[in-house]
Amino acid sequence: MSQIKELNISPVGRVEGDLDVKVVMDGGVVTKAYTQAAMFRGFEQIMAGKDPQSGLIVTPRICGICGGSHLYCASSALDTIWKTQLTPNALLLRAIGQATETIQSIPRWFYAIFATDMANKKFAHHPLYQEVVKRFSAYVGTSFQRGVVASGRPVEVYALFGGQWPHSSYMVPGGVMCAPTLKDITRAVAIMNQFRNDWLETIWLGCSIERYLRIQSWEDLMEWVEENESQKNSDLGLFIRASLEFGLDKFGQGVGKFIAYGTYLHKDLYNRPTVEGRQRAVISPGGFYDGKNFHAMDHLKIQEHVSHAWYQDVAAAHPWNEPLPTPLESQTMHNTDWGGKYSWSKAPRFDGYAAEAGPLSRVIMAGNPDNLDHQIKDPLFLDIMQELGPSVFTRSLARVHEAPRLYNQIMEWLSQVDLDGEFYIKPTEQDGKGWGATEAARGALAHWVEIEDGVIKNYQVMAPTTWNVGPNDDQGNAGPIEAALEGIEVADPHDPVEVGMVARSFDSCLVCTVHAHDAKNGEELARFKL
């Protein structure tokens, strides 16, 4: 007999912040899920009425994991308002900052956040389990230690130009603060080279970056795994084989729609920043993919819904037109009204649709046949979406797939910095509305800013986690993680690792969700103790 039960999981953990999840189950299968972000800090209220440059200091500190990404957005938003000029050096050094933060996050997320779950006893009956435990167990796993240490290397490059990571404010409207010298560039090249030798090619790929980047399809990837022992037994090889053996490709589908703003503004294509000119200037392309067709990224099609968030009700609105949120009383999970307001996260929608943000969105956009010459062209994930569809595995593979290309891009951009060129052109402050966006490691991030009378009138931050962890919208449609949890089987309600794996495959970062909290169900159902 199927029996409906509900599971309140608080905290989920390893999602960078406070995520609570409620799942309603029927015979061990999740039929409905609610995500609840459980913390409110009110950064938008803090910045209202303050110095126009406050976002450069405050927003990197919304999220210590994506601080460089917030800085990229904050400086870009002011660039569009103050109508700055950006030199090629400024654009290169910002791109290097964004890219080093993102590549840092790949081993750190994989080993510290994600792969430890693959060592969960749930998978103990599989043949590859012993090897997974040996390498990926928390702290003691042979690769865990190397991967966590290696993850610190790329942000050493960030520190050469930004002074420190996390929490630098070196990107400013008009350029960057630093004026690097020869030794900064040569040292950066050497650090990246060590990162490649110590981890990326040796432990992670088991082959050269060039060999890996020849993979164009799912079939190519499977051939790559079996090509030799080195690739088969690399951490990536093991991850792919174990994921398929453990069935990680079988759950966690999501909403099947994807959003990316794109990032890495090209050094010669965005010297006069405008909101309208942004999408053509990015190297990693943006867009909206509805599962069949690509659509251009138009930020004016984005709205936030608050009907299920703990804010005073307002009509769904574009961030430029949203009032500062007024927080309402939140609840514990137990007391939450799950049909009403249940999270501190708002629900963003593109053209009315919930959409998944993140590396999978980015690598799908890379397959758009209309991408411009300077943009990434990579058909692999459109093929994987055909062959496997979205899943915990697909999403995680997309994440790690970016590392080799990012490495090459960082090296190329370092080689292009002109030590005789300018790094900063002092702008003139003025009022207006602006938009700054990027791709944080975990997806589409943007700031919408309005300056009036020389102070901040409105500052709206929409993080990738807002896209992914957001609650139901005004029409009752689920957010991406909520949708991805529906249909999963929870084998052991005392250790619902499947729920954690789905959440962690999105690499949700709750500290980014400036807003988030709890849920309720009309009738009292059985409640598991976790």
Partner 1 sequence: MANLLWLQGGACSGNTMSFLNAEEPTVPELVVDFGINILWHPSIGLEIGDQVTDLMNDIKAGKTQLDILVFEGSIIQGPNGTGTMNYFAERPMMDWVRELSEVAGFVVAIGDCATWGGIPAVPPNPSESTGLQFHKKAKGGLLGSNYKSKGGLPVINIPGCPAHPDWVTQILVAISTGRIGDVLIDDYHRPKTFFTDFVQTGCPNAISFAQKVDGHFGKRGGCLFYEVGCRGPMTRASCNRILWNRQSSKTRANHPCLGCTEPGFPHHDLKKGSVLKTMKHLGFLPKDVPTGVSKFGYYTRAGFEKVLGGLERVTGTMQEHFETSK
- Contact yes or no for 510/16 (Cβ under 8 A): yes
Per CB under 8 A, 529 contacts partner 1? yes
DSSP E strands in 262-367: the ranges are: 263-265, 282-284, 287-289, 294-295, 302-305, 347-350, 356-357
- C-alpha gyration radius of the chain: 22
Size of residue set near partner 1 by CB under 8 A? 99
Work out whether 420 is an interface residue with partner 1 (CB under 8 A).
Answer: yes
Nearest-angstrom CA–CA distance, 146 and 136: 10
Q: Does 496 bind partner 1 (CB under 8 A)?
A: yes
Residue 144 vs 413, nearer CB to partner 1: 144
CA 380 to CA 243: how far, in whole Å? 18
157 labeled part of a ligand binding site = no
Selected range binding partner 1 among 44-52, 265-273, 277-285, 482-490, rule: CB under 8 A? 44-52
Shortest Cβ 71–partner 1 spacing (Å): 11
Quote the DSSP letter at residue 59.
G
Window contacting partner 1 (CB under 8 A); options: 238-246, 286-294, 390-398, 418-426: 418-426
- Residues 4 to 43: which contact partner 1 by CB under 8 A? 8-14, 16-18, 20, 38-43
Phi/psi at 56 (5° precision)? -70, -30
Q: Among 426, 452, 475, 526, indicate the residue that binds partner 1 (CB under 8 A).
A: 426
Q: Is 388 in the site for partner 1 (CB under 8 A)?
A: no
Q: Which two tokens stand for residue 437?
A: 């966006």
User: What x/- string results for residues 437 through 466 when contact with partner 1 is judged by CB under 8 A?
Assistant: -----------------xx-----------
Q: Is 158 in the site for partner 1 (CB under 8 A)?
A: yes
Residues 184, 192: contact at Cβ < 8 Å? no
What's the closest the beta carbon of residue 355 comes to partner 1, in angstroms? 25
Choose the stretch contacting partner 1; rule: CB under 8 A; options: 222-230, 290-298, 398-406, 492-500.
492-500
Least distance from C-beta 49 to partner 1, angstroms?
8
CA atoms within 13 A on the CB side of 72: 33
- Please identify, among the stretches 327-335, 372-380, 430-438, 468-476, the one whose residues bind partner 1 according to the rule CB under 8 A: 327-335
Work out which of 246, 423, 448, 459 binds partner 1, going by CB under 8 A.
Answer: 423
Parallel, antiparallel or unpaired: strands 282-284 and 263-265: antiparallel
SS (H, E, C) 165-200: CCCCCCEECCEECCCCCHHHHHHHHHHHHHHHHHHH
CA distances from 32 to 22, 330, 336, 482, 489 (A): 8, 21, 15, 8, 12
- Cβ neighbours of residue 110 closer than 8 Å, sequence gap 6 or more: 147, 239, 396, 399, 400
68-97 residues near partner 1, rule: CB under 8 A: 90
**113/506 Cα distance (integer angstroms):** 11
At position 88, the amino acid (one-letter code) is P
Nearer to partner 1, 142 or 475 (CB): 142
Contact pick of 124, 190, 419, 526 for partner 1 (by CB under 8 A)? 419
Of the two residues 277 and 327, which places its CB atom closer to partner 1 in the complex? 327
Exactly one of 177, 189, 269, 525 binds partner 1 (CB under 8 A); that residue is 177
Which range, of 162-170, 225-233, 380-388, 478-486, touches partner 1 by CB under 8 A? 162-170
Map residues 499-518 to x or -, x wherever contact with partner 1 holds by CB under 8 A: -x--------x-x-----xx
Q: Which residues are annotated as a binding site for Ni(2+)?
A: 63, 66, 509
Q: Which residues are annotated as a binding site for Fe cation?
A: 66, 512
